[in-house]
Amino acid sequence: MSAENPNIYRRDTDILRRGEGLPVTPRDLYADNHSLEADRRREAWNRHKADGNLTVVWSCGDARVIIPNPETTVSIRSIATGSPSDAYPYTRLMESPGVKNIIILPHFDGETVKPGEEPTGCGGLGEKKVQETKSSKEVSEGNSVVRYVKQRVKSSDVLLQACISATITNENTSKNVLAAAQDHRDGTIIPIAAFSDRGRRTISAINLRHLFQGQYDPKIIYQDGIPSLSEDEIPEEFRAYLTLHRKNLEELYKVEPDLVQLQKTQNPTIMALSTDPRPFEVRFPALTASPNTLFKLSVPRTRIDSRISIDDQSLNDALDQTEYPVAHFSNLNTIYIETGDFDRSKRVADQLILNEWVHDWINEPSHQIIAAQTRDGIVSRISTIY
Ligand SMILES: [Zn+2]
């Protein structure tokens, strides 16, 4: 463990109170966010931002996703890396001078990798697969995760989803984009294709015709397992980042030798909705000391006139996604909502609770919604509001 690369994984805390079976408290979260370790990580993140050295990682909200190199990462989370097609709310964030490049990172379960078959393991991609077997009319357009997946997730195939999202992102920004996939069982990241110069230059481990031009055939794409760019094919600007992640994983295995088994199923106790681009690992070191604890969804901020705000479509997309964790995870006892303004966080909670899945959930004993105000990654106000 060096000063440059301190081990971010520790097991010296039980902030989640698993031993007591109680939910996390606002006081615990506040203390974690104001700890010396959180200060150190925020300072490191701010330094990388000032140096223009941050990588945007767009991944699924799944609690098992292991965010690579949190101190140099801007984290965007959405179910199955779904992205709006008619508006692109993250362009301003991606174009900001602190950001160097972008990785689109959906995930799969390494145990499902078989020659000639597409791997599975992401619940959102699984829902897309179900929808692809039905006619469009059969898939109800109500307000829920079904609507979100139908409109925002492009494909049920993890590589196709990565490459389509990477292409759209590259068309919408001047930054270079890597399409990759994470095996959430062991944290490995597999680089698949790189897109640069707004799509004019691409390098890919698969013939993109097989993905994009109606010639998709898992028997060809996965004939030798998951296709991967070789080390010298990976654009140099991404290489050091991926190497550092591999080193961090080695540290994680030392703390969690049973990682592959622990990552088999997800059942987080917390779901978080956040407008903060810093990963939770930077701002809540104790809470995130081991993976598979938090389901996270990003809410994009937009500039309306000169004010930073949340547009209705982006908020509805985020709220619709909450149905998935609330409906699926029996251990979920806390919904945590943070924006730059405490009253706005409260209003998001008020809107969230109108949805029937949250309305029923909050009536269970020991279930709670916590709202917070966070600016520059620092929580200044936090309390339980439901
Ligand atoms: Zn997923």
Would you state the structure tokens that stand for residue 103, as one six-digit string? Answer: 């990785």
For the cut 90, the answer to whether the pLDDT of residue 294 exceeds it is: yes
Ligand 1 centre and the CA of 64: distance in Å?
A: 9
Average pLDDT over residues 70-92: 86
C-alpha 126 – ligand 1 centre gap (Å): 9
Ligand 1 centre distance from Cα of residue 128 (Å) = 11
pLDDT (0 to 100) of residue 181? 98
Would you place residue 1 in the very low, low, confident or very high pLDDT band (cuts 50, 70, 90)? Answer: very low
**What residues have a C-beta under 5 A from ligand 1, the ion?**
60, 62, 122, 124
Tens digits of per-residue pLDDT, 114-151?
999 999 999 999 999 999 888 877 777 777 899 899 98
Q: Taking residues 8-29, report their average pLDDT.
A: 70
217 has pLDDT over 70: yes
Task: Report CA(147)–ligand 1 centroid distance (Å).
Answer: 16
Q: Mean pLDDT in the chain?
A: 89
Residue 5: pLDDT over 50: no
**Ligand 1 center to residue 36 CA distance, Å?**
32
Whole-number Å distance, alpha carbon 380 to ligand 1 midpoint, is 31
Predicted confidence at residue 352, as pLDDT, reads: 94
- Cα of 106 vs centre of ligand 1, distance in Å, is 7
Name the band, by pLDDT with cuts 50, 70 and 90, for residue 89.
confident
pLDDT reading at 20 higher than 70: no
CA 8 to ligand 1 center in whole angstroms = 23
Report, as an integer, the average pLDDT of 249-262. Answer: 92
Domain ranges of the chain: 26-384
Q: How confident is the model at residue 268 (pLDDT cuts 50, 70, 90)?
A: very high
- Determine the pLDDT at residue 297: 96
pLDDT at 356 over 50: yes
Query: Rounded to the nearest whole angstrom, what is the distance from the C-alpha of residue 80 to the centroid of ligand 1?
Result: 5
Distance 158 CA to ligand 1 centre (A): 10
Min mean pLDDT across 57-71, 139-153, 225-239, 268-282 is at 139-153
What is residue 124's predicted lDDT score, i.e. its pLDDT?
95
Q: Is the confidence at residue 239, as pLDDT, over 80?
A: yes
Amino acid identity at 272: A
pLDDT of residue 311: 82
pLDDT score of 10: 54
> 156 CA to middle of ligand 1, Å?
11
